[in-house]
Amino acid sequence: MDQQAIKNRFAIIGNSPALNHALNVAVQVANTDLSVLINGESGVGKEVFSQIIHALSSRKHNPFIAVNCGAIPEGTIDSELFGHEKGSFTGAVDSRKGYFETVNGGTIFLDEIGELPLGTQARLLRVLEAGEYIRVGSSKVQKTDVRVIAATNKDLLESTHNGRFREDLYYRLNTVPIRVPALRDRKEDILLLFRKFATDFADRYKTTSVQLSEDARQALTNYGWPGNVRELKNIAEQISVLSTDKNISAEQLRSFLPDHQYSRLPVLAGGAGAVSQTEFANEREILYKLFFDMKKDVNELKKMFFDLLQNPNIAQHAPVFTHENNSNNLKEFNTLGNNSNGYNASGNSPVILHSNNDAQIQHHEDVEESLSIVDKEKELIIKALKKHRGKRRDASLDLGISERTLYRKLKEYDIEDL
């Protein structure tokens, strides 16, 4: 089946290169049993790609079920997926089959896979690796032959770094990744989609299809579409139903669009100059940035201190105090021009020197601190292990990484347990 025939069958509209590439990958992987992870923002149509994969596979005559993992409460998700035995929990008045049992031989689509609890992730990993599962409240191992297609609008790799998603499960699911492009990344398809939706709604509501002026087309194309195809379809329906004038101008179109444009850029938080954490890939990078800022401040202080030692005349412009090692008293000197508050007339702050009667500073060297991210990461891991007395679990939580990742880092950096 060629690509256009697939688009017609599954009502896919558009010819952008990114969309065509995602479709090609789905077609190529369909006739295998490999796990597929579909990435894309909410509203881009990830479920359609799972249906394409199932319909073109050898399992097409067997069941297909789509499960929204984010819509099932954490306390019942295991029962929904794997089933339960009678009396296994309050309200379990009968035994119940789970989706992996009822869809045996078919395909299960797990949408919003990033919302799965960690315990359920471990159970799912067992299904993927061995085709085995256990009902809630049972000790009997059961077999299943189900192909898993997962989808997410989150960065699962980042979630593995934060300990919110199992790293082994991520790589098991991500055997074949498919990225469905956002609508703003396929602007050439926006007018095609709007025209199709407008025509469909005109037929449904027995009205004339709306037409866009040139400036309205431009406004439609330039809008950010945070809700992607789903939002575009809703806007097309609103205009078809509510607009009395079927020739839509840009001004009329904007009355149906949200007042604010959706921004995916980093935002200011906590006052001017503060940077949102979304600017960084993960918490570790935020920590590195803090280290670099601290290094800059320390180097500036060191430069000011050594400039003062090399050029004593600088001390005439600021009050200087000395602390003798053999005395507990502070003695003020070089206070010419001081005001009553202990500051000199120029407003400079006092400078504190720690001196020794028996020795003087003859030479100094400004040693550059290492900027290697690897060195910093190794240093942080060692500090965390020392802090928690070698307890890896506590150290990994403190570092914001999974215990498995910490174990891998220990081997990578050849760090012995402390």
pLDDT tens, residue by residue, 130-180:
999 999 999 999 999 999 999 999 999 999 999 999 999 999 999 999 999
Residue bearing the bigger pLDDT, 321 or 306: 306
Of the listed ranges 20-29, 335-344, 368-377, 399-408, the one predicted with least confidence: 335-344
pLDDT of residue 346: 42
Q: What domains can be seen in the chain, in order of their start residue?
A: 3-181 (3.40.50.300), 184-254 (1.10.8.60), 286-355 (no CATH), 371-412 (1.10.10)
13 burial type by CB count under 10 A (0-12 exposed, 13-18 middle, 19+ buried): middle
Helical packing angle, 373-387 and 392-399, nearest 10°: 130
Query: Could you report the per-residue pLDDT of 239-276, keeping only the tens digit for each?
Result: 999 988 889 999 999 999 987 544 444 444 343 333 43
Mean pLDDT of 283-287: 54
Q: Which is more confident, 349 or 215?
A: 215
pLDDT at site 273: 38
The helix/strand/coil state of 24 is helix
Q: Which residues contact 46 (CB under 8 A, 6 or more apart)?
A: 38, 40, 111, 151, 180
